[in-house]
Amino acid sequence: MTAPAYKRIMLKLSGEALMGDDSYGINRATIERIVAEVAEVVRMGVQVGVVIGGGNIFRGVAPGAVGMDRATADYMGMLATVMNALALQDAMRCIGLQSRVQTALAIEAVAEPYIRGKAIRYLEEGKVVIFGAGTGNPFFTTDTAAALRGMEVGAEIVLKATKVDGVYTDDPKTNPDAMRYQQLSFDEAIMRNLKVMDATALALCRDQKMPLAVFSIFKAGALKRVVMGEDEGTKVYC
């Protein structure tokens, strides 16, 4: 069997990815399929960290957040990511995939606090480490958390799993002629204001020379193909 291109990855999952076709919450069939894709690359010997978003849970609260203090709203969003992390861990437990949840906010009754050394040790042991609560700070997105945690634990690449199979010249849903970038530089993504990640995360990856791949988690086998270094999604490089 061909060796994977990457030994240690940081997977960024949006909360919306767990919704499937539902309007909010967690679609069990969808989360089970995502976990099966993660388990496949873990069996190949790839060490996997996961940063999870909270949009699927926080979505229903967002309209009510108008006029709310931004820091308060962001902390609420962080708690939503912890809920998603626990759901993801439970789905992994059901198929016998070992995982640990670490959170940037101290919620020791349900998860470990984030400790870099322990996270690295878990990865080396073959456990999936799920990082909840973003960076633990308001005003920073889970995109930035994925870039930060990826660098801290020595990941070789950040993989952003979305509903779209890469970065396009335009919205492929409204423009059938939109072309998918096979690869592009961070500077191009920032200058063209392409919807890859938020600007802070892009700048962090660029400055630390951390490559990024954007792909669809809804395409069967896409995660494995990205890990194997095949032409899947869009690669963003320094």
pLDDT in tens, 3-36: 899 999 999 999 888 888 887 789 999 999 999 9
- 170 a known binding residue? no
| Residue 196: domain span | 8-237
- 131 a known binding residue? no
- 2 a known binding residue? no
Does residue 68 fall inside a structural domain?
yes
Sheet holding 183-185, edge to edge: 112-113, 99-103, 128-132, 47-52, 8-13, 157-162, 212-216, 234-237, 183-185
The amino acid occupying position 232 is: E
- 135 a known binding residue? yes
Does residue 37 fall inside a structural domain?
yes
Does residue 58 fall inside a structural domain?
yes
Model confidence at 62, in pLDDT bands (50, 70, 90)? Answer: low
Q: What is the pLDDT of residues 93-141, one digit of tens each?
A: 999 999 999 999 999 999 999 999 999 999 999 999 999 999 999 999 9
DSSP type of residue 16 = G
Quote the pLDDT of residue 65: 64
- 23 a known binding residue? no
Give the chain's mean pLDDT: 92
Residue 106's SS3 state is coil
Does residue 201 fall inside a structural domain?
yes
- 229 a known binding residue? no
Does residue 3 fall inside a structural domain?
no
- 15 a known binding residue? yes
- 234 a known binding residue? no
- 231 a known binding residue? no
Does residue 1 fall inside a structural domain?
no
- 138 a known binding residue? yes
- 224 a known binding residue? no
Number of domains observed in the structure of the chain: 1
CATH of the domain at 128: 3.40.1160.10
- 74 a known binding residue? yes
**Gap between the Cα atoms of 60 and 81, Å rounded:** 14
Does residue 82 fall inside a structural domain?
yes
Does residue 25 fall inside a structural domain?
yes
Q: What is the pLDDT of residues 70-86, one digit of tens each?
A: 898 899 999 999 999 99
Asked if residue 59 has pLDDT above 60, the reply is no
Strand-pairing partners, residue 161, are 13, 215
DSSP type of residue 113 = E
- 200 a known binding residue? no
- 174 a known binding residue? no
